[in-house]
Structure formats: C-alpha cells, structure tokens
Structure 1
Amino acid sequence: MSTAEAGRGPRLVPVRAADGRVGWSLVAANGRRLAAAVRSYRSDRELASGICELLAERAVLRFVLSQREDRLWIWTAHLPARSTRAGAGGGEAVARSARGYLRRDQCRQSVAAFRQGADHVQRLRRLAGGAFPSSAW
C-alpha cells in the first residue's frame, strides 16, 4: 500500500471532550463519520490501548442491530466475553454507528464499512511497526 493509497482510506480521529477525556471516530476518506467510540478514555495512552484492543479483536466483534425510538436503525459492536463464568455477559460495547439508518440493510452496510475501515487502519498500523501513523490517526 503506497503512502497515497494510505492517505485516501479511512482514519481514526481523536475526539476530545470539554472535561479532557478523549474518544475516537472512524472517518471515511470522504469525511463521513462511520463509527464512534462507546466510551471515553482518561488519557491518550488509555485511548491507544483501547484502540489496540478493538483492532486486535475486530474479527470476533459481535454486532447488535437495533431500532431507536425514532425508528432509525443503529448498530453496536461488542468485544467477546472474557469470562467463562455463568452470567458473565456478552462483552463490553466498544463502538457504535455514527448515525441512524432508515433501513436495516443500510445499517448492515454500515457494519461492513466499519469492518473495512478497521481493517484499513490495522494495515496502516502494521506498516508503521505497531504505532499509529498520522495517516490513520
């Protein structure tokens, strides 16, 4: 993948809140937000750790599609459960759709776009030796 190709793909954009906490958005090459972090992090180091976990577990994320009260479809991505203990739950929610969709199939397409975007960011990270290059961040 050339530098020009890398610059055209999706990238992670840090989002800092007024209270100093930080999250992320996955933004497509055309500038449209594809997804956002469900939680916020206390520091850039904690954010990087959370993103590393998301990227490492991206193949086994569980996606839940649901309808909001306004009847728009949204998705939420969950990490796999870390415990074999009965009743441990289905894993932590880590990402969500950046917007709602009129139809369920559009929401499913958004999941596919998120997966492709996460794969792209992981490829950039691998090319940068495990760091987050400016083209992905």
Structure 2
Amino acid sequence: MASSRFQFFDRGRGIEWRLVSANNRELGRAARSYPLLPDTVAAVDALRAEADAAVHWLEQDESGRWRWKASLRGEVVAAASRDYLRRAECEAALGLFRDAARTATAQPVVHRFLPAVGTPARAQELLDTARRRVRVQS
C-alpha cells in the first residue's frame, strides 16, 4: 500500500524537499533549499524526529489568502505548497501535513527540473551539466 513520502528535487537553486500523500498530492514543502542532498535529508530526518515539537501557525496575506508554516528550534522549516481561500481549509491542510510528516518515508533520490530552454541542443547541454554536478557531489 502506498504511503506519504518525502521527495527531493533540484530546480537549479539547491536541493529542496516536498511531502506528498499516498495519492501524490503535495502536502507541504521545504521553506528553503540546501546545498547538498545529505543536508536536505538531515533536515527531513529532524522534521520527522521532532514533529511533535514543531511550532505551526497560519498567516493571512493582504489578499485574504491563508498559508501555514512550521518551525523547529526557531527556524522556519516547512511551508504550505499553496494558498487557501478559507482558514478552515488551511487548518485542515496543516493537519494532513503534520500527520503525514511523522510517518512518511524518504528515499534520497534527487529529481531534476531543468529550466525551460529554447533548443534541444541547449536542453542536452543543461542535462549534461546537471549529471556532472551529481557525479561531483557523490
């Protein structure tokens, strides 16, 4: 049976994580990126181990939309993946994140998201560069 899991990805500005449910809906994501995969995995491990000690809160922006955030030891570590129109929806989404974060699995595999490029040759160049980075970091 599928379960919630942490996924790791790189969009060109460092390694980030996100928590997805068993049906692949994103429940929350890292509040920051990390330079290397081991740093990101350590952040996820800390979140799982200290989930009960995390401080959670809701924020409403000037347009009236709601978002949640979570912190550990005074550092913001997680945030909502999207805005919510209603406070109750935001609270429910936070509850799903909190429950899933305690038991979610994490496989340290990085998914790469390359920026949009104009030509197939440029896309291949960026892909080759990303592959070289992985070899250097390993």
Tell me the TM-score range normalised by the shorter chain: 0.7 to 0.9
Residues 52-67 of structure 1: pairs in structure 2 closer than 5 A: 52-67=45-60
Instruction: Tell me what 1:102 maps to.
Output: 85
Q: Kindly provide the CA deviation profile for residues 20-70 of structure 1, in whole angstroms up to 9, marking residues without a partner as x.
A: x10101111222111010011110111111111111110011111011232
Letter in 2 for 1:13: Q
- Bigger relative contact order (CA 8 A; separation at least 6): 2
The CA distance in 1 between the partners of 2:107 and 2:40, in whole Å, is: 15
Q: Aligned match of 1:28 in 8, 21, 30? A: 21
| Cα offset, 1:120, TM superposition | 2.1
Q: Partner residue of 2:4?
A: 10
Larger radius of gyration: 2
Runs of 4+ displaced beyond 6 Å: none
Cα distance in 2 for partners of 1:28, 1:34 equals: 7
**For residues 63 and 22 of structure 2, what CA distance do their matches in structure 1 show?**
29
Aligned residue for 1:117? 100
Q: Aligned-pair RMSD on alpha carbons?
A: 1.7
Which of the residues 68, 71, 76 maps onto 1:78? Answer: 71
Alignment correspondent of 2:44: 51
Q: Which amino acid aligns with 1:69?
A: E
Structure 2: segments with no counterpart, 5+ residues: 109-138
Question: How far, CA to CA, are the matches of 2:11 and 2:75 in structure 1?
Answer: 21
